[in-house]
Structure 1
Amino acid sequence: MLNTIITGSGHFLPERIVKNSDFLNYEFYDEAGIRIEKTNQEIIQKFQEITEIEERRYAENNLYTSDIATIAAQRAIEDAGIDKEDLDYVIVANNYGDIDAEHRQVDNMPSIATRVKHKLGIKNNKCRPYDMLFGCPGWIEGIILAHHIFMSGTAKKALIIGADTLSRAVDPHDRTAMIFADGAGAIVLEAKEGTEKMGILSYDTISDSMDEMTYLLNDVSLKSDYEGSKINIKMRGRKVYEYALRKVPALIKRVIDNSGVEFTNINKVLLHQANAKMDYAMVERLHKLYNITDFDHDIAPMTVQKLGNTSVATVPTMYDLIQKKQLGNHEFHSGDHIVLGAVGAGMNINAIVYKMP
């Protein structure tokens, strides 16, 4: 039988660490455009209580999304031990293309995938570069797309990357700016014949794009005379939180049930992370759907405390850290069943059940 298998992974985290204390001199405004009266110390303390974010990584000014995507991709290619010229697809999940650090100009033509293919030096003109614009679930959706292509028999190897420099797409006068960060993660995905089912066992995606479309979007700064970019992430945190708790656990349960794997045999749940409180709640609700109230919280590793919300890079980075045994005591074993899941702008949700070879 034909299986879709991850054969290599890599990630890139910028060296520049930005701590919560670095926001002490910021001017924060509310949704009405009025400066918040609380001290920044109070604002930051409340922020950390909710999100658990202590620090995040920002890319150096000379690095663009396509640069950090290329670094992660090169590491995945080397890990897989493949010839880059054998790749049929380069799929790059991102949200803002390349953003200039100074002027915050968004540039995505040619596509980020095309730029990555160029920077990797791939000459094969049968290798197709695609950008996946799907919010935070984009990297997982890239895997799902490649899997469909593999099952059609028209391709055998794909490079799936998630990369963003969200620190350049935030409003410095919005408290939510402290959530977002930069990073990149990548995998090599291959179609492999096998005698038993491995790799992707099941998957699903939903998209609610009516009122939900406004939960995450771009808008002007909260500060009326801000002279920076007019393209800034705006997140209606409460709406996102409520939507995620209502929809994500139910979708993940459906994907697990469709995989034929008992929930008690799921070893890890790798979720996109915007804030710790939301992820804890989603994992708890997922267990409750199976009438389980007492469980090992290590089933859902967390990186948001030190890395912030890196959007499409969160899950692939976490996957690679665990695969390389660089995330505490977390590790994968042959035969493990893992869930990859994400929710984000759209609003889009997806999940995959994957069996480690």
Structure 2
Amino acid sequence: MHIKITGSGSYIPTEVILNEDFKNHHFFNSGGTQINNSNTVIIDKFKKITGIEERRYASKELNTSDIAFLAAEKAIKDADIDKETLDYIIVAHNFGDVDKNSSQADTVPSLAARVKHLLKIKNPYCVAYDVLFGCPGWIEGVIQAVSFIKSGMARKCLVIGAETLSRVIDKYDRDSMIYSDGSGATVIEVTDKPGGILSSVSASHTLEEANFLFFGDTYNNTMNDPTKYIKMHGRKIYEFALTHVPLAMKKCIDNTKIDISEVDKILIHQANEKMDEAIIKRFYELYEKEVPDNIMPMSIQKLGNSSVATIPTLYDMILKDKIKDQSIHHGDLLLFASVGAGMNINAFLYQF
């Protein structure tokens, strides 16, 4: 049995937010005092560390479930399947539908149920549910879909990663420049074509790391604002990721008979350019190897960090020739990996 991604689709929001659009913001540190550096200095340092030049925000009339649906439509068409034959719709997100004019999260009904409704699927045995697993949610959804198929409970699954992080950011926090919106979708199914999912690994580090990403108050404590916003302990996440993500990636490879030199591409969560480069370097150091040229496609420069959407969006854009100097060919070995809130890590090895 071969289980493969037979179709992909993505939705890239139309609203482009440039770094210079933050030049008039007032940034505060976590202690509540305003940062003395000029915004020009803050933005320049931000770009050097993260690699982000611009990001995308969803237009006000679209919510997370809407953009998930738009990506899903494309994936179903790309896979050339009858939507009524889907056994599962799995939507990975973190904050549900968040109205542009209100930061209150809405998860009833589930986003997967909303996507199924928008797709107008009549089959009641197409089961729709959500995954909350931080940024690695789409990968975890794929791993679950593979398990359903291997167990005989399913033959076709639609797995979506969608997020509108622009609706939950604190404009007084420098980290607000990292986050963006987007969605990516994939159809996972049984096929007679060789390759597919070869190995996977998941881990949750919660003893000391559970609250490295959290919901917290605005950094501007002069505001009477009861709203909670996405917050993170950036240095702790960086150190955690550099230690644990390479080990998980290695475990995924070592579960097979494949040599690291055979891997053609690594599609890693687009969280921070410098961090991703450091993770890949440390990963290859575990095998006492140098990092190959052009091994890690990047989209963060133009799209920012859209959480669960970054990897499926990146994958779809490469296949649609929208990432410069990057391509995937039949037989290529791809290593997918992610890290995020929880703190959760996962990876899977895939032969295209």
| Superimposed CA distance per residue, residues 45-94 of structure 1 (whole angstroms, 9 cap, x where no aligned partner) | 11111111000000001100000000000000000000001000000000
Task: State the AA in 2 paired with 1:14.
Answer: P
Q: Which residue of 1 aligns with 2:345?
A: 349
Distance 1:294 1:213, change over 3 A: closer
Q: Which residue of 1 aligns with 2:125?
A: 126
Q: Which residue of 1 aligns with 2:333?
A: 337
SS, match of residue 209 in structure 2 = helix
Distance 2:338 2:292 in 1: 21
Per the TM alignment, residue 290 of structure 1 is displaced from its structure 2 partner at its CA by 1.1
Per the TM alignment, residue 328 of structure 1 is displaced from its structure 2 partner at its CA by 0.9
| Superimposed CA distance per residue, residues 7-35 of structure 1 (whole angstroms, 9 cap, x where no aligned partner) | 00000001110000000111111111011
Superposed, 1:239-254 pairs within 5 Å as 239-254=236-251
Q: Which residue of 2 aligns with 1:211?
A: 208
Per the TM alignment, residue 144 of structure 1 is displaced from its structure 2 partner at its CA by 0.3
Task: State the AA in 1 paired with 2:9.
Answer: G
Length-normalised TM-score, structure 1: 0.97
Task: State the AA in 2 paired with 1:17.
Answer: V
Percent of residue pairs identical: 49
Distance 1:54 1:132 in 2: 30
Q: Which residue of 1 aligns with 2:234?
A: 237
Q: Which residue of 2 aligns with 1:34?
A: 33
Distance 2:81 2:224 in 1: 47
SS, match of residue 264 in structure 2 = strand
Per the TM alignment, residue 193 of structure 1 is displaced from its structure 2 partner at its CA by 4.2
Distance 2:5 2:36 in 1: 50
Per the TM alignment, residue 259 of structure 1 is displaced from its structure 2 partner at its CA by 2.2
Higher mean C-alpha displacement, 229-238 vs 71-80: 229-238
308, 314, 331: which one pairs with 1:312? Answer: 308
Per the TM alignment, residue 228 of structure 1 is displaced from its structure 2 partner at its CA by 5.0
Superposed, 1:146-157 pairs within 5 Å as 146-157=145-156
292, 295, 305: which one pairs with 1:295? Answer: 292
Distance 1:54 1:326 in 2: 17
Per the TM alignment, residue 326 of structure 1 is displaced from its structure 2 partner at its CA by 1.6
| Superimposed CA distance per residue, residues 86-140 of structure 1 (whole angstroms, 9 cap, x where no aligned partner) | 0000000000000011111210100000000001111110000010100000000
Q: Which stretches of structure 1, 4 residues or more, deviate above 6 A after TM superposition?
A: none
Q: How many aligned positions are there?
A: 352
Task: State the AA in 2 paired with 1:279.
Answer: D
Q: Which residue of 2 aligns with 1:224?
A: 221
Length-normalised TM-score, structure 2: 0.98
| Superimposed CA distance per residue, residues 214-251 of structure 1 (whole angstroms, 9 cap, x where no aligned partner) | 11010111111435562211011000000000000111
Superposed, 1:1-357 pairs within 5 Å as 2-193=1-192, 196=194, 198-227=195-224, 230-293=227-290, 295-296=292-293, 298-356=294-352
Distance 1:9 1:227 in 2: 44
| Long gaps (5+) in structure 2 | none
Distance 1:21 1:9, change over 3 A: same
Distance 2:224 2:86 in 1: 43
